[in-house]
Structure formats: C-alpha cells, structure tokens
Structure 1
Amino acid sequence: MNRLFGARARLRWIHLILGGALLMPYFLLAQVGVGMAAGGVNVLSSLPLTLAAYAAALPLAAVTAVYGLVRPLSVAAVRAMCAVPGERLAEGPARSWAARGRTSAWWTLHLGVGAVISGMTLAVPPMAVVLIALPFSAGLRDSGLGLGWFGTGAEPYAAPLLGAGLLGGLALCAAGSGALLARLAPVLLGPTAADRLAAAEERAADLAVRNRLARELHDAVGHALSAVTLQAAAARRVLDSDPGFVREALAAIEDTTRRTVGELDAVLGLLRDGDPARRDAAPAPTLAADLDGLLARTRASGTPVTARQDPGPVRDWAHLPAIASREAYRIVQEGLSNALRHGAGPVELRIRVRDAAGTGHLEMEITMTNPPAAPQDQAPRTTGGRGLRGAAERAALLGGRVEAGVHEDRWRLRAVLPLAEDAR
C-alpha cells in the first residue's frame, strides 16, 4: 500500500499531473490545427480528433525542449518530486546536441504520460464515486447512470466493487508511471560525457587555484615562522650583551609578522570568496619589489646571506614577466626557509638570467647553497617536504625544473625558469 499511496508515490503523482498541465498549451495549439484540418469541427466532441490533437502536441513539446534551460527545470522537478539522487542528474543547461536530444525525449515522455495520468485523475474519481454510491441511491439508479456507462447488465450491488477497482487501477497506473519516469530520469537527464568532462575541468581548475593558494600560505607562513623563531632565539642569547642586535631582531620580527599577517588575511579572504576569478588573483610578492626585504629579514635572524644578482639581458628585475617574478621570489623564499630550519652556516644565493644553451631563449637560474647541519643539530621535519614539492610545482608551471640535494658537501637548491620572449 505504501508504494501506491505513500509520500513518494504521491509526489510522483503530482509530478505527472504537472506534466499534464505543461502539455496543455501545446494541446490547445494542436487542437486548433486539427480542428481546422477537420473542417472547423470541435475537436473535443470526437475522441479520434482529441487523440489526434494529443499526438500532434507531443512533437511540438519535443521541439521546444531543445532549448538548454529546459533541462535545469526538469532536473529541479525530478529532484523535488521523484526521489532521484541529485548526483545522478546533470547540472546546468544542456549545451551539446546529445544532451538536448535526451532532454527532448524526457520532456516529451513526461508531458505525454503526465497528460494521460492527469486525464485519468480527473475522470476516474467521479465515476468511481457514482459507482460506489449506486446501490444506496435510487435516484442514481433511476437516472441511468452507473453500470450503464459500461454497457453491462450487472446488478447494482456489483457497482461498488467496480468503483473500487477503478480507483485501485488509477493508483496503480500513477505509481507505475511515476516509478518508470524515476527510473528513466538518470538516463535522460543524467550527465553526458561532455558534461562530465566540463565538470572535471571545473574541478581541476578549482583544485589548481586552491593548491596555488595553499603553496602561498605554506611559503609565506612557513618562512615567517622560521625567521621569527631564529630572530627571537638570537635576540634571547644576546639580550644582555648586545642591545643593538636585540633591537634590530625585534624590529625584524615586527616587520615579518606584519607582512605575513597581511598576506595571510588576503589569501584567507580569497579562499572564502566563491568567485574563482578573484581567487585566482591572489596577491603575491615579487622578485623585483620584495627580494631585498626578504634578504634583510633573513640576515636579521643571524644567518649571513651573500647574494649575487645578474639580470643579464633583462637589465632589471622589474622587466621580468610578472608570473616569473612571483614564482622566483617564492622559490628563493623556500630555499632560505630550508636554510634557516636545516642549515648550519652562511647562505650563498645567485640569481642570473642567461641565454639557454645558445638557443636565443632566456632562462633564469636560481642557485642557493649552504652547509648542511649535523644530524643531531637538525630540526625535526614536520611538513613532509611540502615546501620543496611546492617549489618544484611552481617551476613546472613555467616549464622549468627544480633540483635539491647535497652537492659537493653543501646543500644546494637549483631552479631553472624559462622566460617569455619579450622579457628583455
């Protein structure tokens, strides 16, 4: 009984009646055409002509369903009333002709079957009520209503059984039709291969943006925490003997934390924003504008840094492509963070732009070396090497590469970044 009269069955019944209501404009238009073709006859006065108008209305409905917005309308109705899981249905308008064809088939089926069920819903209950009341009303029996409708000679006491059978048949037809549409909905309204590809591309783009923002957070916050920790430790060691160094260290801590809080706030704001275009515009420091400050803050922690810069053909870091300047800065920042956390001595940094093996194409080479700390002095790793992976991902975005490891008894980080042709 629950399958015939339960909440799910009732909602699907309403869904079918909605389909019948949606067919009415098409039916009225087809009724005019069929009536004119039949010589101005009232279509509703003839069952064959009514059926002809119904048949003519279905192609009209199919044609209008090729418009893309019909699919989201149908999907919303199916989700609300047919108990079909949302993940099995497509999102958004139908764009490809394959998706439009499926939507047209669904629209025609929904409206066609819904019209039949709607007609039965309007006609069967009054007929069943008359039949059920027939044995108890002399007026109904004398009027010729009831079993005379069916051309039978059955006794009036059989009429209630027939009426109950009609109601049961209506409920069975409605439940069966609703179940059929619910089964066909994922087939006709489900995502096509093009829909799945578009969704996968959208997810990949969103994941790429989130990964980039995660790298920004890791590099900015990780470097800041490493620098602040070492600056505070160095200041504590010489608190009584070198007040000038302590003041410089505290000023560096203040500057580092202020800058990092600003970057953190900007990136978190972009992560909360639902607009992918704004999230893709996350601010980031550049080699041209922020390298000197980065080196100064690193030196303030007590680690000597020797930097040699050779812009070569580009003449000035400000002439670098913006993306190359941003990614180069973050790679240098990650190298300095590694040196602060795991190194044991002065850092040598060299940045230069050169011709790539005489090909005429420019590339930037970043090389950073420092003595590795003794095993007992190394800080324990808690990040799993995500920083070096992030540096490699940054270089790969530009078609470059990153190498990191021990080279001639020193830890070396080397990155090579191709530059655009107009970076001169």
Structure 2
Amino acid sequence: MTEALRFLFGGRARRRWIHLILGGALAVPYTLVGSVIVGPFTGVDNVFGSLPLQLGSFALGLPIAAVTSLFPLTRPLEVGAARALCGVEADLLAHGPARTRAERGRTAGWFTLHLGLGGIVSGMSLALPPFAVALIVLPLLSWLRGTPHGVPEFLDHPWAQALSAVAGLAMLPALAACAAGCGTLLARWAPALLGPTPEDRLAAAETRAADLAVRNRLARELHDSVGHALSAVTLQASAARRVLDTDPEFVREALAAIEDTTRRTVGELDAVLGVLRDGDGPGTAPAPTLAADLDGLLRRTRAGGQRVTASVGTDPAALPPLVSREAYRIVQEGLSNALKHSGEPVGLRISTADGHLEITVENPLGARPAPRPGGGHGLRGIADRVRLLGGTSHAGASDGTWCLRVRLPLKGSA
C-alpha cells in the first residue's frame, strides 16, 4: 500500500507530473496553430466550443511541434528537464544539440511524445478534479431539483447517489495513476530517445581511456622522477649528517649531489608537467635517457653512501630513444627501491642479448622499514612500462637477495 501511494503521490511522481504539465503548456501554441487550420476547413468559427475539434487541433499541432523540435536548443533543454524532473540519470542522456539525422529524429519523437502526453494529462488535470467534486457533492444538493440546472431525476435513487459519489472519488486516484504512468513511460523512453548513440558511447569510452592513460603516465613519471629524487636527497642528507664532524670532504660531496639532484629534478618535473600542456614549450627539459644520464644517476646514488657496482655490456647510445628513456626510469626505480628498502652493495647489469635489452638490479635483503601509506607503486610502474614496450619483468627475493630482472625488445621500438 505504501509503495502504491508513493508511486501515485510521491515526490518523484509530483515532479514527473510537473514535467507533463510543462509539456501541455508547450503544446498550447501548436494547438492554436492547428485551430487556425481546422476552423476554416470545417467552417466553424469557435473551434474550442467543440471537444472533437479541440482534439483535432491538438492532433494537427503535434506534427508541427515535431518540425520545430529540429531547433538546436531543443535537445539540451529537454535533456535538462528530463534529468531534473523525470529523475533520469545524467549518464544515460546525451549532451549538446542533436547533430546527426538519427539524433534529430529521436529528438523529434521525444518532443512530440512529451507534448502529446503532456497535453492529455494537462487537459485531464484541468477537467477531472472539478467534475469529480461535482459528482461527489451533487447528490447532497437536493434543493437544486426543479431548477433549470438541477440534479437529474435518476439521482433520486439511493444507489445512483452512492455510485455518483464513488465515481467522483475514483476519478482523482485514476487521474494520479494516469499522470504517474505517463511520467514513468517518459522516464523509461528518455535514454532511448535522448540518450547517446553507440558511437557516442564508444567515443566517450575512448576519451575516458585516453584521460586515464595520461593520468597513469603522469603518476609513473612523478613517482619515478620526483619520488626517486626525494629518497636520494633524504639518504644523502642523512649520510652527511652522520659524518659531519669526521669527514668534511664526504659532506661536501653529498651537498653537491643534493644540489645536482634537486636541480635536475626541477627539470624533470617540468618535462612531466609538459604532458599536461598542448605541446612541450621551448623551455621544457628533455626526458632523461640511459645514454645521457646513467652516469649522473649512478654518481648521485653513490653520493648517498650507497655502494653500487655497474656493469654495462652495451652502448646506451645505440639504443632506440623510447627504450633508452624507459630503461632509465626502470634503472632509476630499481636503485631507488634498493636505497629505501634493502642492504648494500647494489649490483646493476645492463646488456643486450637475442634482440632484447636486459636489466638486472640485485642487492642483499636488509631491514625493510614499515611501508608508508600510499606507497608500493614503484614495481607496478615498472611493470606498466615493460608491458607497454612488450617486454617482461620479474621482481622477488631468493636466497637472501632481492632481484629485479627486465627484458625489453629492441626491434620495433622507435
């Protein structure tokens, strides 16, 4: 019972009723235009004095409404009304004016349906309530008998009086049920007539995927560049603080490494933020590569007190630019993990074999600190980079040693 009352008189039903009333109001000028055609055709001066002629004018005005719905603002206005009053979710409705012939046709169908159902419900809302009240109170007005507009004689029978009151009472919920049903029908058809086409949904999905790819790329670049730099600076400052009074030369080297790291990170941050721009500006720093920046990366890592042995069995300058750039980030993240979580020394091997670039970072397992909130994205970032290049990666502990192995294909990488 509660559900039925909510369906007939709840807040959503009332808003949908208002939506239908607005449709009926929009149908009035089209009905007037229809009456201008029906009047001369039938030879009747007052078309609105006849219910059939009124309905004919209304029916003739609906095709005219369908034609005018081709105006570009029709669909945005109807979408806004359907979202606010019909309770249709925004994701199910299209945005902007109709552009294709199919979209304009569906908009015309929706506009005609809205005005048609709205005109019927509006007419019933104006006529039925006073008529129902009249049926309810009419048997009680016995003093009207014998007057020109008196009570019909058949209402003198008690059964007729009772049925008149019952009919009047039944008309009001029937009107509410009709309005609720028409509102539900419009809400159900709104996604089909005002919603995006499959092509629009595919384009929106591709746009979301592209945006997500950009966000993931930004997250990887920020994590690998800025995150590594902050970890390195922290360890370099900590090592310098410990030997401040006993090894001034090491402190000077550590401070120089901190200065170099921060200066370089500002340039890398500018390069990362260039992804957000329409194009890289003339002052944007280039992304670091294995060929140009591996020596500096090793020098800054060692300045923090970390012992790193590197074996490079290939010429980094001969690598494809994309592989060189991504390989630098992978080596950077591997060394950063060793700095933060593991013992020393760290062994780095870079070589080529069977058309692949092989990167191996090994170090003894040390006392691992408690993971920080939101951390643990480094290995995931490496896996994403490797997957995009079509390579393979493996990271894990074995016999007290943590090992990161990566294979990147060289062929087909520009």
Letter in 1 for 2:26: L
Pick from 91, 108, 125: which aligns with 2:129? 125
Identical amino acids, percent of aligned pairs: 55
Residue 287 (structure 2) aligns with: 286
Residue 301 (structure 1) aligns with: 304
Do the aligned partners of 2:346 and 2:363 also contact (CA within 8 Å) in 1?
no
Residue 390 in 1 paired to residue 394 in 2?
no
| Partner SS state of residue 244, structure 2 | coil
1:83 positional shift: 3.9
1:260 positional shift: 5.2
| Partner SS state of residue 176, structure 1 | helix
| Cα distance in structure 1, aligned partners of 2:178 and 2:259 | 76
**Cα separation, partners in 2 of 1:344 and 1:169, compared to 1, 3 Å:** closer
Do the aligned partners of 1:67 and 1:100 also contact (CA within 8 Å) in 2?
no
**Cα separation, partners in 2 of 1:346 and 1:176, compared to 1, 3 Å:** closer
Residue 33 (structure 2) aligns with: 29
| Partner SS state of residue 363, structure 2 | coil
RMSD: 4.8
| Cα distance in structure 2, aligned partners of 1:48 and 1:277 | 64
| Partner SS state of residue 209, structure 1 | helix
Mapping 1:280-359, distance limit 5 Å: 286-287=287-288, 293-302=296-305, 303-304=307-308, 311-312=317-318, 327=326, 329-338=328-337, 340=339, 342=342, 344-345=344-345
1:183 positional shift: 4.0
Letter in 2 for 1:311: A
Letter in 1 for 2:302: R
Do the aligned partners of 2:254 and 2:304 also contact (CA within 8 Å) in 1?
yes
Mapping 1:337-416, distance limit 5 Å: 337-338=336-337, 340=339, 342=342, 344-345=344-345, 368-369=359-360, 372-375=362-365, 377=366, 379=368, 386-397=377-388, 399=389, 401=391, 403=393, 413-416=406-409
Once structures 1 and 2 are overlaid, which stretch shifts more, 30-39 or 10-19?
A: 30-39
Structure 2 residues not aligned, in runs of 5+ = none
| Cα distance in structure 2, aligned partners of 1:224 and 1:140 | 99
Q: TM-score, normalised by structure 2?
A: 0.71
Letter in 1 for 2:378: G
Pick from 74, 77, 84: which aligns with 1:73? 77
1:208 positional shift: 1.4
Pick from 59, 82, 89: which aligns with 2:92? 89
| Partner SS state of residue 337, structure 1 | helix
| Partner SS state of residue 304, structure 2 | coil
| Cα distance in structure 2, aligned partners of 1:280 and 1:379 | 41
Q: TM-score, normalised by structure 1?
A: 0.69
**Cα separation, partners in 2 of 1:413 and 1:401, compared to 1, 3 Å:** closer
| Cα distance in structure 2, aligned partners of 1:13 and 1:222 | 57
| Cα distance in structure 2, aligned partners of 1:147 and 1:256 | 100
Residue 201 in 1 paired to residue 191 in 2?
no
1:65 positional shift: 4.3
**Cα separation, partners in 2 of 1:233 and 1:74, compared to 1, 3 Å:** same
1:182 positional shift: 3.5
Residue 245 in 1 paired to residue 250 in 2?
yes
Show CA shifts across 1:262-301 (max 9, x none).
977997x99xxxxx96599898851268666544422322
Aligned pair count? 390
